[in-house]
Chain A
Amino acid sequence: MSQLAETNPASFPILGKSTKELRVLSDSRHLSLSDAEWAAIQAHYKTLKREPSLAEIETIAQTWSEHCKHKTFTSPIRYTEGKKTRTIKNLFQETIVAATGALKKPWCLSLFKDNAGVVAFGKKWALAFKVETHNHPSALEPYGGAATGVGGVVRDILGVGLGAKPVLNTDTFCFGRPDWTGALPEGSHHPTRTLRGVVAGVRDYGNRMGIPTAGGGIWFDDDYRLNPLVFCGTVGLMPRWAVKKEVKPGDLIVTVGGRTGRDGLHGATFSSANLGADAPSSAVQIGHAIQEKRVLDALLAARDKKLYGSVTDCGAGGFSSAIGELGASCGARVRLEAAPLKASDLDSWEIWLSESQERMVLAVPPKNLKALETVFAAEGCELAVLGEFTKTGRLEVTHHGCVVVDLDMGFLHTGLPRAERAAVWNAPASVKPAGGASKKPSEALREMIGHLNVCSREWVIRQYDHEVQGGAIVKPLQGVRHDGPGDACVIWPHAATGDMEDFSCFAVGHGLNPDYGRIDPYWMALAAVDEALRNLTCVGADPARAALLDNFCWASPEDPKQLGALIRAAEGCRDAAKGFGAPFISGKDSLFNQSKDEKGKDLPIPGTLLVSAVAPVPDGRKAVTMDFKGPGNALYLIGRTNDELGGSLYHRVLGRTGGEVPKVSPAAAIDGFKALHAAMTRGHVLSAHDLSEGGLALCAAEMGFTGEFGCLLDLDECPRDPRIYSNETLLFSESPSRILVEVKPENESAFLRHFGKSAKSAMVRRVGQTTANPILKVTGLEGTTCLEESLKELKEAWQTALPKILG
């Protein structure tokens, strides 16, 4: 009999209990354990001939949660597509990891295993990038949920390798429309309130920590009204020697930063269930940005003195997860009475499981403890030794001499039963566009430019400090009045390295369009990768050196149709990575994003994939913005336009359904991006802007009103499918991989030489020119003007849409 069975007063009897009784236990304690998982736990404790303690059950539930173990992506799935059925053993390994492995990029320094992906940045440095979601907490408490989302992802960057310095925050949100007037179920927040709270939370945490927030986007759709999505990202800079970490038996387990309290219990298990009205208030926290700033400063100082061998953040699961992960390959012995507490009346399991913010755990050689204490004391940052790493292969936790956890690491980390799930995907039959009422191009354009998914985000962006650290070369708002929509941000991070002669920068871009996923998630995934890469290309980043992050947000994977769609998206990511030669380096999934609506019906979010991309900009002085730079310059359209208006903004404003979803040809696309990048590095490009929602018409309008010059376009010159006979298709199609580029007349020949054969094969064509008069004028296929709009009026419509609703 173990010491635990003899001494632990807080045992948690499960042996002999029925499935029904265990379900009740699971629900009452928010454990989110399935029947099969309970059975595995029962079998394990039966062999031990004892009951588990409460802390052990909580530890297992946290470690085995969807949030921590990504069960859907790593468990077998019986997948039926049409009439064919096959078994996927491990979706993550067979799609994301397989594609990255096949690419074998030597500049990828750390993939999937650490808190963030890491890529080389020059010879001495590396960039770490992670995007996290904080959806469930933000639905319950928008301000606190979003703020701690930022705090969490910043700690991921502090906890990657031996720690990286955060140099950029990104934020991407999906909300219900803020002008929603329908009913909402009890306890849910109106989308406007969610938006205001989330933006304020991201603002306050990022600004107070002195990290620029300069990238991201917002997507509005009523199906997010109960389950908003909050993607928080951080890029960190680290020396290459700090990429590797190692825990050695005998290292001290040291916690630094915030104290442990009752706040934040059950965050991981809560995130692994459908959102309902019974969410625990303890799953929501209020962050302390100043505390985290102290941790940041002290940690990086200690890193540079090489005082610790490994570090990770206390995220979901608190100490149980952080220490369990660090000691997974060796073992750990923890004495909970050493943990600094916010309140003295915490139970053992609460100290062990608490997700109190702003805490990190370090593995410290005993000889370095004194020096580490000095570094942290200098920043006013608390530090405590909780125990030591062992070579027992066990997780042993005591509290005032009483054993509260004694778990075999092998069972904890590999004992999770992998239940097979079923998934179904039926390809939609090709449906011709139908419904809605036709509109004149000018009318449609005015409506689209003021649409919530297109209009200016200045109301949000201006709340963020994107200038702090002094490295924002290409800012989120651009043009002569600093108010136009940039494609991606370019950051010069060398204020942190001190090398003022190094002009290398990096850019971060994003791709997201759930409307395409409603038709086919496979093509949504390819389009998201394509959009992220072309955004990077537009500002001067090297598309051949782009690294990708995936963030899947989905409804319940227990619904075979939802899971089938998720598989389609993952396979799209795989094919996109291979096709573009761009590896995924990190990612995250957030599932169970569905709730009961006001009528008690399940309201799932649309399957959503955010692709984030980072790539070096070799010389920041050659970075390009999207605003027209002068009159009389040539306009080139790169990429072919097809009749693919399915899921487009044009169809949305017409109320039309059906049509072909845009399809990506990665090989042709990356050729175009690389050629454009080469032209940019030689200074042959004045401005570039990607064609996304709203197509060519919106792209040209945005470039025009941001630069305060007009343009003349001739649709007959567009590289296109010769079967297109409609001006509207050429104006508003969202065919991917297209970029509109401004080139000085004297540079046209040199510019075209970069495209080689592509130019001859009509991949790139001169489609018009810029003008002094701020008018967007388009000649249609029939040779007459089909669109003529004042850019001043379009800009006003673009700028006022969001403030009109938010006040």
Chain B
Amino acid sequence: MSLKLQPTNVHLIEVRLKSEFNDAEGAAALALLREQGLSSLKEVRTGRLYEIAGSLSANQAHQAGKELLCDAVTQEFRLVSPAPAPMNGMNCWRVEVWLKPSVCDPVGATVIEAIAEGGLPKPAAARCATLYLLNGRALKAQIEKAMIKSLANPLIHHVVVTEAHS
């Protein structure tokens, strides 16, 4: 997922609840997706994605993730590399729900301000997405259909479904 702004750097920071914590948002998402026919799903874990464009170096993006975007007690973060995800037999899926570029992203706007206030170079742009990690056998088309019926609205959202590491 790219903002297509062609900035000098684009970093994708992923923030997730640590696995030992109960993910209430994930449980609610699981129930909604099951209602939409994905009955074989076993678990959904959620997270946030921040795509930050501008002159931040990788180290500075790491600092922003660690000190600003992540609660070190309950969450963990990583900088996501754009490497293609390996196939896993359709058992683990990664679903990213992004606001379309024409839609206002207040969280992204706040992230820009907060990074600058934290002493790092002010990003040129930042967008936020919701991440759903699905565990359970399903087809990509089924997931896409279920997502737009429950957790994403195609009018304002862009949904990216890929196979993921287990």
Chain A interface residues toward B at CB < 8 A: 140-141, 144, 189-190, 193, 261-263, 279, 281-282, 284-291, 342, 356-357, 807
Contact = CB atoms under 8 A, between A and B. Distances in A.
Contacts of A189: 153
Contact of B150 (A193, A261, A342, A807): A193
A288 B103 contact: no
Contacts of B100: 281
26 contacts: A141-B153, A141-B155, A141-B156, A144-B103, A190-B149, A193-B150, A263-B104, A279-B155, A281-B100, A281-B102, A281-B156, A284-B155, A284-B156, A285-B103, A286-B104, A287-B106, A288-B104, A288-B109, A289-B106, A290-B110, A291-B106, A291-B109, A342-B104, A356-B104, A357-B104, A807-B31
A286 B156 contact: yes
Given A144-B156, A190-B149, A281 B106 contact: no
Contact of B104 (A140, A190, A261, A289): A261
Q: Which of B100, B105, B149, B153 has the most CB of A within 10 A?
A: B153
A657 to B, nearest CB: 34
B99 interface: yes
Contacts of B103: 144, 263, 281, 284-286
A28 to B, nearest CB: 18
Contacts of B105: 286
A144 B155 CA distance: 11
A279 B154 CA distance: 12
Nearest to A263: B104
Given A189-B153, A284-B155, 7 more contacts: A140-B153, A144-B103, A193-B149, A281-B100, A287-B104, A289-B106, A807-B31
Contacts of A284: 103, 155-156
Q: Which 4 A-B pairs have the closest CB atoms?
A: A288-B106, A263-B104, A281-B155, A286-B104
A286 B127 CA distance: 13
Given A141-B153, A141-B155, A193-B150, A285 B104 contact: yes
A284 B156 CA distance: 8
B163 to A, nearest CB: 27
A140 B156 CA distance: 9
A276 to B, nearest CB: 13
Nearest to A147: B106
Contacts of A262: 102
A263 B106 contact: no
A285 B102 CA distance: 9
A143 B17 CA distance: 24
A716 to B, nearest CB: 50
Nearest to A281: B155
B99 A286 contact: yes
Contacts of A290: 106, 110
A263 B109 CA distance: 14
Contacts of B149: 190, 193
B155 A140 contact: yes
Interface in B16-61: 31
